[in-house]
Structure 1
């Protein structure tokens, strides 16, 4: 169970990417008071949690309704996660997030960024939704499913803490440390993505 938790935790940590989301949130909420930033951070995490839990609960049934096998979804999800990992290694993902954040900042009528773009698509985006569904599909029984959900909850708590404390953290670490962490996590995610594909191929052959 501990191996499953660690694997699920690392996978979700890389995809949800608290070190990448928190600085974007800080940039989007420049000029907001501490109380306003706190409310938006909490609201964003709550909404993202509800979205991810919904896909975790009914994702497998939804695939079955569409006639998609779990093996096919594992392979497709692994390929998608691999491309996300490559974007992280070469910093393309960070640049896209910054571009999206800049567009939001340039739209003065949008003040509350908790729902869009923070909750979705930055936190509960295609990558994290697919990852939650993949991990839940791999879980065998209720016990393992709760382990995966525990890993998801731990990541969302870390994200919430990072978003609430991002101001001092940005002054302490700066952008260079964030870039190093993002590249390292990208390499780990690439290996995990390949494992997803291998699991899907093994299941389809056997």
Structure 2
């Protein structure tokens, strides 16, 4: 059902992108910028990430076909990758890795390229989010309404990121470190369940072609 597909896509991408957590990193990579520059960085990062995820969703399956990889095999591999990401969230390894990437960008590129790196890549449109897009697009099975719904979900998630960036200071004060840690672990558990479902779907397709 389309409704179930939309709910699954929204939950998966929301957990993988995690706008609330990204808002804290946004503050870090834009330290010292004016409000105008922060707005520009937020917009550019959102636009770049949206483009990357849309391309992954629309062309990822064709790339797999060219490489001779079945969608079922990718579902299993992708599910295992998402499960690893979920474990990192639960045990708080992903937040540390993302924070390290943000610090590296400040040192190397400082202001000019932070919209592209690390905000758009790999924080917003990272390997996990790109994998999720390919898997979700595969579940759509070339149905136009499902693909349109997926692109709409991506747009909503990216808009949520932009809003989170613009409200980053307020979110940081309201939630605090403890609030973000609790939310990250809860989202990690949800992602783990979704990842296992991807693996189950892949195995089922292999056994019942």
TM-score by length of 1: 0.96
| 2:105–2:117 Cα contact (<8 Å) kept | no
Alignment of 1:66-85 (within 5 A): 66-85=67-86
Counterparts of 2:103 and 2:63, CA distance in 1? 35
SS in 2 for 1:5: helix
Structure 1 unpaired stretches of 5+: none
Distance of 2:59 and 2:152 partners within structure 1: 17
Taking the aligned partners of 2:110 and 2:172, their CA distance within structure 1 comes to 24
TM-score w.r.t. length of structure 2: 0.95
Alignment correspondent of 2:120: 119
Measured in 2, the distance between the counterparts of 1:81 and 1:20 equals 18
Give CA deviations for 1:115-136 in whole Å, capped at 9, x if unaligned. 1111111111111111001000
Which stretches in structure 2 are left out of the alignment for 5+ residues? none
Aligned CA RMSD, in angstroms, stands at 1.0
**Shift of residue 106 of structure 1?**
3.2
For residue 71 of structure 1, give the secondary structure of its aligned residue in structure 2: helix
Corresponding residue pairs, total: 205
Task: Indicate which of 159, 162, 186 corresponds to 2:161.
Answer: 159
**Deviation readout 1:42-92 (Å, 9 max, x if unpaired):** 000001111111111111111001000000000000000000000000000
**CA shift for structure 1 position 168:** 1.5
Deviation at 1:20, TM superposition (A): 1.7
> What is the Cα deviation at residue 104 of structure 1?
2.4
Could you report, residue by residue, the CA deviation over 1:12-31 in whole angstroms, capped at 9, with x for unpaired residues?
Answer: 00011112211101111111
Indicate the residue corresponding to 2:191 in structure 1. 189
Distance in 2, matches of 1:177 and 1:83, equals: 23
Distance 1:53 1:103 in 2: 27
Indicate conservation of the 8 Å contact 1:77/1:131, yes or no. yes
TM-superposed CA distance for 1:103, in Å, is 2.3
Residue of 140, 143, 147 corresponding to 2:149: 147
Name the SS of the counterpart of 2:111 in structure 1. coil
Instruction: Name the counterpart of 1:198.
Output: 200
CA distance in 2, matches of 1:96, 1:62: 28
Secondary structure, counterpart of 2:159 in structure 1: helix
